[in-house]
Amino acid sequence: MLPRWSLFLLAFLPHALALPGVFVFDDYSLLAQPPAWADFLRLEQTRPLTYLSFLLNHWVGGWHLFNLAGHLLCVWLLDRIARRVLPIDLAWVAPFLFAVHPLLSEPIHYVFARSSLLATLFCLAALDAWTRERRWEAVVWFVPALLAKEECVAFPLALALLRPAWGPIGAMLALSLAAGLRVLYATKVVVGAGSGFDAGISPGQYFLAQGTVIWSYLLRCFVPFGLTLDPAAPSAGFEAGVLGWVLLLVVTAVALWRGHPTGRWFAVGVVLLLPSSSVLPAADLIAWRRMYLPMTAFCLAAAYGLPKRSQVAVVLVLASLSGARAIVWRSEAGLWREAMSAAPEKLRPRLQLARLASPAEALVILAAAEQIAPGDASIASLKGRAYLQQGDPARALGEFGKALAQRPDDPKAILNRGVALEALGQSEAAKADFIRALERDPCQAQARENLLRVGGTPPLCVPIN
């Protein structure tokens, strides 16, 4: 048994190796402009509590420290719960596993994944209240969990598997229904939402894919390998998907039928995973951050199954693996190189790495990307950027033209062509493109600056929803 004072030390030190941290994916959008207060009141603005925390970071900084602090609070709450629901000699195991498991690294180091941390934090607060027989207090804690991330909608069903109390559970299910409908509305009206109606995959296809994805998640609980930022998705074949779901249902049913706490906590983890891994499509078929909330239950289950002689060794090995993951997270380019190596058939890691590489290396990376997705507009845009950096605006203009042909109304593509035209000395043509880009996005900062430089007057900045 490890001393309890070491719990927070192990929860902090391995992950702290990534500080001060890098920004990836949607993180960059958070740096551009703080959200307005009115945005939190819009019906299509999901996860308002998470965005409120981003607003706080605009004021005081500490983007990555905030995530790490959230993880420490989750560890503290899980420790409280484990002391109450597990035998005294096993209670220490679950919070230690949760503190150091490398499968949980992504929500700690990826700022935009803070929604998973906050939803888990408030769900654990609700579970803490529930296990103290404070049922309606649990309902109160569930509200901010939903406002942080709607993927916790199945939490009331998880409580029903533990200690049913149908009045409070009914109230929580009503809140979950409202949150779910709000998400469906948001994915319908928000362009580029990346989930629901805008995921680019049907609910049936997504459901079949998750039949194998869930087993990929469960496998990483035991053997945490391949935890790249942009993993390759398992096959979405019909037979594999159906078999995966059948096996999951059978294993969960047997676990519940046997009546052991291990099986009950395993079933709770499966229930918590289902909202993000069943029928509501997301653009990414697999994402390790979706395991953050379910892992609270899986760690409680593992406390029973982990041999006592190996418990300390397992915790220390997992802590060292989390430290290794944190070191990878110190470099954005390193993250994308790792992802490209692990999933050479995926386009996105190559595009992200080309954005960070030198012009010469970027062109080599993009040449390989063209073999994966010939004619892709993003590849053409990045090639144009590389040619501009090399001082070859003529070739850049040709690439930007290809991108614009694929996306004729994209303000960024129009802006890029204008930049190339200006570099070629065609100021009037460039000016026309800057004006055209601002007609589609009046607040685009670079287009406004470029138009002023060539003697134009930018329009009033009124965001277009």
Provide the residue range defining the domain that includes 412: 336-453
Q: What is the pLDDT of residue 236?
A: 65
**pLDDT at position 198:** 60
Please give the pLDDT value at position 197: 59
The Cβ of residue 308 has, within 10 Å, a number of other Cβ atoms equal to 10
Largest Cα separation within the chain, whole Å, is 77
Which runs of consecutive H residues, i.e. helices, occur in 17-134? 27-32, 48-60, 63-85, 93-100, 105-109, 114-131
Among the candidates 287, 302, 331, a domain finishes at: 331
Whether residue 225 sits in one domain with residue 101: yes
* Cα 233 from Cα 21, distance rounded (Å): 26
Same domain, 325 and 341: no
**111 and 252 assigned to the same domain:** yes
Number of separate domains in the chain: 2
| Together in a domain, 239 and 294 | yes
DSSP three-state, residue 189:
helix
**Judgement on whether residues 304 and 410 belong to the same structural domain of the protein:** no
- pLDDT at residue 23, rounded to an integer: 93
Q: Both 271 and 392 in a single domain?
A: no
Q: From the first residue on, what is the mean pLDDT of each consecutive set of 10 residues in the chain (465 residues)?
A: 87 95 88 74 82 92 96 97 94 96 96 96 98 96 96 96 94 94 76 58 89 95 93 82 95 91 95 91 90 98 91 96 96 95 93 94 95 93 95 94 92 92 91 90 85 83 55
Residue 401 CA to residue 384 CA, distance in Å, equals 9
Residue 186 confidence (pLDDT) = 78
Asked if the structure places residue 107 within a domain, the reply is yes
Does residue 269 fall inside a structural domain? Answer: yes
* Count of beta carbons in the 10 Å neighbourhood of residue 61: 11
Q: What is residue 196's predicted lDDT score, i.e. its pLDDT?
A: 56
- Domain match, 130 and 183 both: yes
Q: Are 91 and 200 part of one and the same domain?
A: yes
CATH number, domain with residue 367: 1.25.40.10
Residues 212, 300: one domain? yes
Residue 278 sits in the same domain as residue 414: no
pLDDT of the residue at 190: 61
Whole-angstrom Cα distance, residue 212 to residue 208? 8
Is residue 394 assigned to a domain? yes
pLDDT of residue 201: 82
Beta bridge partners of 282: 195
188 and 314 share one domain: yes
Any domain includes 263: yes
Domain boundary among 314, 331, 348: 331
Instruction: Report the sign of the C-alpha dihedral through residues 110, 99, 288, 274, in that order.
Output: negative
Instruction: Return d(Cα 417, Cα 438) in angstroms, integer.
Output: 13
Residue 195 forms beta bridges with which residues? 282
Q: What is the pLDDT of residue 465?
A: 46
The answer to whether residue 153 is domain-embedded is: yes
Q: Does 460 reside within a domain?
A: no
- Say if residue 250 is in the same domain as residue 365: no
The pair of structure tokens assigned to 448 is 């406004």
Place of tokens 């500080």: 19
Is residue 123 a part of any domain in this protein? yes
Tokens linked to 429: 């043509």
Residue finishing a domain among 311, 331, 351:
331
